[in-house]
């Protein structure tokens, strides 16, 4: 690692191999702080106890946030985590007492222990993160946990005393001990599917909890304490159907010009002629998607548009595309062939990430 260098007012950034780390922000930093656009990693403890910071803007270049990075930032009210982060590390937002809104992207698979512990004002988020910077929110508010999450660590939401409703998504298999302890306003929980482990006292101290709706009561009941077993009710078939249907539907902007979301379980998808933009995170988390037909009317691919499309092996990009957002192909580990029109290689090398330059293959006719 190169020598650390101060950037502004003792804020320290360090250059590492293929990454730029935000190392330290002084505790007396006030107001809003915008992390520089080329930072890729926020180091552990970087903003710890910056109690006067009211707002932090995290750029889309950031792909990792270290443990306890924002612990004790008591004045911050809202955080938007960029696409590409794959876990909320231990204690990342612990003790952010005024944090009331969190946007977690669909690249996140784990929420580790103590991640939001004692965030006493936390009450809402964006479910599935389907929003576009220009069109406004298109997501479902008031659920904090995105459907990509597979595990919730111990004490992860302990003492988040403003949360009233929680939906545990289909993919979650484990909930750690004391994960929701002392969420004193929690009234209702929906457990959508595949939880196989619930740690001790995961919902202790949730004194207002009155209903636990489960898609499979027989699987969930043995995992709960006797006191909570009496609160479990089967999720109505109509409710399950609504949830499944929502996952199967695509969404477009009101004028039809932007694809906002592709169904999560799609294997092959054709974007209609006339659509001009693939929106931010539109295909994010579509893990089994292996084929997309992009029409020649598309001019823009948004931030994180194909992030997490692990089975996507090839793409044909029309000459009409003029911009590609940051992390548009983050986590597309199988993408090995990108077909473009002959003579346009230089253009696409300028708008695609460097790691994909070797996958560009020019075609005379397509």
Per-residue pLDDT tens for 273-327? 999 999 988 888 788 899 999 999 999 999 889 988 889 999 999 999 999 988 8
Choose among 232, 235, 101, 123: nearest CA to 183.
123
Q: Residue 246: enclosing H or E segment and its boundaries?
A: helix 237-248
Q: What is the pLDDT averaged over residues 90-118?
A: 92
Q: What is the pTM of this model?
A: 0.72
Q: Note the pLDDT of residue 154.
A: 98
What confidence category does residue 145 fall into, taking pLDDT thresholds of 50, 70 and 90? confident
Q: Both tokens of residue 311?
A: 């089975």
Residue 236 CA from chain centroid, whole number? 28
Residue with tokens 């597309």: 332
Q: Note the pLDDT of residue 243.
A: 52
pLDDT tens readout for residues 71-89: 999 999 989 898 778 899 9
Range from 90-99, 201-210, 240-249 carrying the lowest mean pLDDT = 240-249
Q: What is the pLDDT averaged over residues 86-94?
A: 96
Query: The domain 5-241 is classified under which CATH number: 3.40.50.720, 3.90.25.10, 3.40.920.10, 3.80.10.10?
Result: 3.80.10.10
Residue with tokens 């579509």: 286
Is a pLDDT exceeding 70 seen at residue 176?
yes
* Domain ranges, ordered by start, for the chain: 5-241, 250-363
d(CA 211, CA 337): 50
The answer to whether residues 84 and 327 touch, using CB atoms and an 8 Å cutoff, is yes
Left (φ > 0), alpha (ψ -120 to 50) or beta: where does 207 sit? alpha
Q: Note the pLDDT of residue 254.
A: 83
Which of 328 and 15 is assigned the larger pLDDT?
328
Q: Note the pLDDT of residue 142.
A: 55
Residue with tokens 């399950």: 240
Is a pLDDT exceeding 50 seen at residue 8?
no
Which of 8 and 100 is assigned the larger pLDDT?
100
Q: What is the pLDDT averaged over residues 354-362?
A: 91
Judged on CB neighbours under 10 Å (0-12, 13-18, 19+), 101 is middle
Q: Note the pLDDT of residue 9.
A: 52
In this chain, the answer to whether the domains covering 5-241 and 250-363 adopt an identical fold is yes
pLDDT tens readout for residues 108-134: 889 999 999 999 999 876 544 433 333
Q: Note the pLDDT of residue 137.
A: 33
Which of 49 and 11 is assigned the larger pLDDT?
49
d(CA 309, CA 107): 10
Q: Both tokens of residue 173?
A: 């298999």
pLDDT tens readout for residues 214-271: 888 888 999 999 989 999 988 765 555 445 444 546 788 888 899 988 877 788 999 9
pLDDT tens readout for residues 35-77: 998 899 999 999 999 999 999 999 888 989 999 999 999 999 9
d(CA 216, CA 194): 9
Q: What is the pLDDT averaged over residues 173-202?
A: 93
Is a pLDDT exceeding 70 seen at residue 211?
yes
Q: Note the pLDDT of residue 126.
A: 55
Q: Note the pLDDT of residue 307.
A: 86
Q: Note the pLDDT of residue 38.
A: 87
Q: Note the pLDDT of residue 308.
A: 82
What confidence category does residue 3 fall into, taking pLDDT thresholds of 50, 70 and 90? very low
The arrangement of secondary structure in 250-363, i.e. its CATH architecture, is: Alpha-Beta Horseshoe (3.80)
d(CA 127, CA 175): 18
The answer to whether residues 236 and 242 touch, using CB atoms and an 8 Å cutoff, is no
d(CA 41, CA 62): 5
């Amino acid at each position: 690692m190169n020598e650390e260098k101060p950037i502004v007012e003792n804020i320290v950034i360090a250059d590492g191999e293929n990454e730029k780390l935000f190392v330290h922000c002084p505790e007396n930093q006030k107001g809003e702080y915008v992390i520089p656009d080329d930072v890729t990693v926020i180091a552990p403890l970087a903003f710890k106890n910056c109690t006067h910071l009211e707002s932090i803007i995290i750029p889309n270049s950031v792909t990792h946030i270290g443990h306890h990075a924002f612990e004790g930032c008591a004045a911050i009210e809202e955080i938007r985590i960029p696409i590409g982060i794959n876990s909320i590390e231990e204690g990342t937002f612990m003790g952010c007492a005024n944090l009331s809104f969190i946007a977690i992207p669909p690249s996140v698979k784990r929420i580790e222990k103590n991640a939001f512990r004692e965030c006493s004002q936390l009450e809402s988020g964006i479910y599935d993160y389907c929003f576009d910077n220009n069109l406004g929110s298109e997501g479902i508010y008031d659920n904090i946990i995105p459907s990509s999450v597979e595990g919730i660590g111990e004490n992860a939401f302990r003492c988040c005393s403003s949360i009233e409703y929680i939906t545990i998504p289909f993919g979650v298999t484990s909930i750690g001990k004391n994960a929701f302890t002392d969420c004193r306003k929690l009234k209702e929980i929906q457990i959508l599917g595949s939880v196989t482990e619930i740690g001790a006292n995961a919902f202790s101290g949730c004194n207002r909890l009155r209903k636990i709706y489960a898609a499979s009561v027989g699987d969930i009941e043995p995992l709960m304490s006797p006191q909570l077993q009496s609160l479990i009710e089967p999720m109505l078939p109509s409710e399950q159907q609504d949830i499944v249907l929502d996952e199967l539907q695509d969404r477009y902007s009101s004028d039809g010009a932007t694809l906002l979301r592709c169904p999560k379980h799609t294997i092959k998808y054709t974007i209609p002629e006339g659509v001009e933009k693939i929106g931010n995170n539109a295909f994010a988390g579509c893990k089994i998607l292996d084929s997309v037909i992009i029409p020649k009317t598309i001019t823009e691919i948004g931030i994180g548009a194909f992030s997490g499309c692990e089975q996507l092996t090839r793409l044909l990009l029309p000459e009409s595309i003029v911009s590609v957002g940051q992390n548009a192909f983050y986590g597309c580990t199988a993408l090995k062939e990108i077909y473009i029109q002959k003579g346009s290689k230089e253009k696409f090398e300028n708008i695609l990430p460097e790691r994909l330059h070797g996958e560009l293959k020019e075609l005379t006719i397509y």
